[in-house]
């Protein structure tokens, strides 16, 4: 059972690291295009979309790197859990308002768009990975107190 | 069932998560300071990139060399009222469907996809020295720049682009109308 927990922990940690480093880097390379996608949600005053677009990719990259390095795993997972919760609420609000927009989750310039319902389902998978990493984290890994 | 099996969020973990967030946000804002500053001051310019996009080999379709003069000049929200008072015409470069769903009060529709076909009719009703303000779906949207370049090529001499476009106008509480009026 301990071996299963250890494998599940490392698989979820490395999967999340790859996903969020990729998502962060690809958005950080085109902040203006990403800001346009954040603006499509129509949740913030227009200029504030640029603040989100400037900061969010670096939060994702930092959390991804820490997970990759197996350091500060629980704080990183907590941040990613919060981010995914916000994404799910934002996407649900888009669906409720009937907008047909791309989620902007990965490549801002992509010609393929991910509808909100598919993005929500994907975010729930990420939440599952986060919870797996959280609960299956061995006490000794990373020399952390958490 | 103990906390060892289902660990709760400890205060230290929460503080470390907050520090991690603040650190990443600070890095992101520092690296993108100019972009964010320009967005707040309405001075975000994408014109150069659009010119490259529309004229990849430093040339435009009629064979002339692309130059900064070909690019419509950006205009911020604060200057729009004065320009409209001086007789400027607002032009919506978004799709006809978006225009009908909602557009800046007083704007006319000239969608990028139909601009070339509509330009001959447009030029008979709007004189070449009329000041024109184009817009589309906000910063990063290239359609207004592309239509602006077509208008400059057609001979229009006073072409501006309002880069904040429809979303900034709407968020500023400015009048939006629907339909084809």
- Same domain flag for B49 and B25: no
B164 contacts on A by Cβ (under 8 Å): 46
CB-closest option in A36, A46, A72 to B16: A72
**What's the pLDDT score for residue A1?**
63
**What's the pLDDT score for residue A39?**
77
- Same domain flag for B77 and B91: yes
Taking CB atoms and an 8 Å limit, are B171 and A46 in contact across chains?
A: yes
Element containing residue B109 per DSSP (H, E) = strand B108-109
Q: Say if A46 is an interface residue toward chain B (CB within 8 Å).
A: yes
Q: How far is B149 from chain A (nearest CA, A)?
A: 21
Q: How far is A93 from chain B (nearest CA, A)?
A: 18
* Spans of all domains in chain A: 2-136
Contact indicator for B151, B175 with CB cutoff of 8 Å: no
- Same domain flag for B67 and B152: yes
CB-closest option in B19, B27, B44 to A58: B27
Whether residue B119 is contained in a domain is answered as yes
| B59 pLDDT more than 50 | no
The token pair at B94 is 């978004």
Taking CB atoms and an 8 Å limit, are B20 and A33 in contact across chains?
A: no
Q: Which residue has the higher pLDDT, B30 or B149?
A: B30
Q: Which of the residue ranges A92-96, B46-50, B170-174 would you say has the lowest mean pLDDT?
A: B46-50
Q: What is the mean pLDDT of residues B69-87?
A: 81
Q: What is the pLDDT of residues B95-114, one digit of tens each?
A: 998 899 899 999 999 999 88
CB-closest option in A28, A47, A57 to B39: A47
Our count of domains for chain B comes to 2
- Same domain flag for B25 and B51: no
> Pairing relation of β-strands B132-135 and B73-74?
unpaired
Taking CB atoms and an 8 Å limit, are B138 and A46 in contact across chains?
A: yes
| B67 pLDDT more than 50 | no
Q: Which of the residue ranges B9-13, B67-71, B152-156, B165-169 would you say has the lowest mean pLDDT?
A: B67-71
Contacting residues for B22 by C-beta, under 8 A, at least 6 apart: none
Domain containing residue B171: 44-177
ipTM value: 0.89
Taking CB atoms and an 8 Å limit, are A50 and B36 in contact across chains?
A: yes
- Same domain flag for B150 and B114: yes
| A57 pLDDT more than 90 | yes
φ, ψ at A69 (rounded to 5°): -85, -5
- Same domain flag for B75 and B108: yes
Mean pLDDT of chain B: 79
- Same domain flag for B34 and B57: no
- Same domain flag for B151 and B103: yes
> For residue B83, how many C-alpha atoms fall within 13 Å in the half-sphere facing its CB?
21
Whether residue B1 is contained in a domain is answered as no
CATH of the domain at B171: 3.40.250.10
Q: How far is A103 from chain B (nearest CA, A)?
A: 17
Mapping DSSP onto H, E and C, the string for B1-63 reads CCCCCCCCCCHHHHHHHHHHHHHHHHHHHHHCHHHHHHHHHCCCCCHHHHHHHHCCCCECCCC
Whether residue B11 is contained in a domain is answered as yes
Helix B33-41 × helix A31-40 angle, to 10°: 50
């Amino acid at each position: 059972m301990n071996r299963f927990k250890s494998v599940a922990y490392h698989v979820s940690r490395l999967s999340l690291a790859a996903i969020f480093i990729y998502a962060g880097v690809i958005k950080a390379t085109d902040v203006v295009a990403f800001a346009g996608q954040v603006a499509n949600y129509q949740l913030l005053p227009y200029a504030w979309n640029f603040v989100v677009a400037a900061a969010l990719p670096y939060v994702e990259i930092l959390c991804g790197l820490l997970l990759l390095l197996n350091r500060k795993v629980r704080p990183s997972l907590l941040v990613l859990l919060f981010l995914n919760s916000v994404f799910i609420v934002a996407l649900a609000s888009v669906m409720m308002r009937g907008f047909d927009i791309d989620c902007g989750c990965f490549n801002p310039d992509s010609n393929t768009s991910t509808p909100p319902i598919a993005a929500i389902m994907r975010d729930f998978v990420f939440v599952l990975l986060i919870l797996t990493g959280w609960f299956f984290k061995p006490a000794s890994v990373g020399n952390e107190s958490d | 069932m103990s906390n060892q099996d289902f660990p709760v969020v400890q205060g230290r973990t929460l503080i470390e998560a907050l520090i991690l967030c603040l650190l990443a946000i600070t890095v992101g804002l520092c690296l993108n300071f100019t972009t964010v500053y320009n967005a707040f001051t309405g001075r975000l310019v994408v014109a150069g990139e659009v010119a490259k996009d529309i004229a990849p080999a430093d040339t435009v379709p009629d064979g002339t060399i692309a130059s900064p003069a070909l690019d419509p000049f950006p205009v911020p929200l604060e200057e729009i009222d004065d320009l409209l008072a001086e007789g400027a015409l607002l032009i919506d470069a978004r799709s006809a469907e978006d225009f009908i769903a909602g557009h800046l009060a007083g704007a006319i529709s000239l969608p990028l996809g139909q601009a070339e076909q509509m330009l001959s009719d447009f030029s008979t009703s709007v004189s070449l020295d009329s000041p024109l303000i184009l817009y589309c779906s906000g910063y990063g949207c290239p359609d207004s720049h592309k239509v602006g370049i077509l208008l400059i090529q057609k001979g229009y001499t006073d072409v501006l682009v309002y880069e904040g476009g429809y979303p900034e106008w709407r968020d500023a509480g400015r009048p939006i109308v629907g339909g084809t009026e």
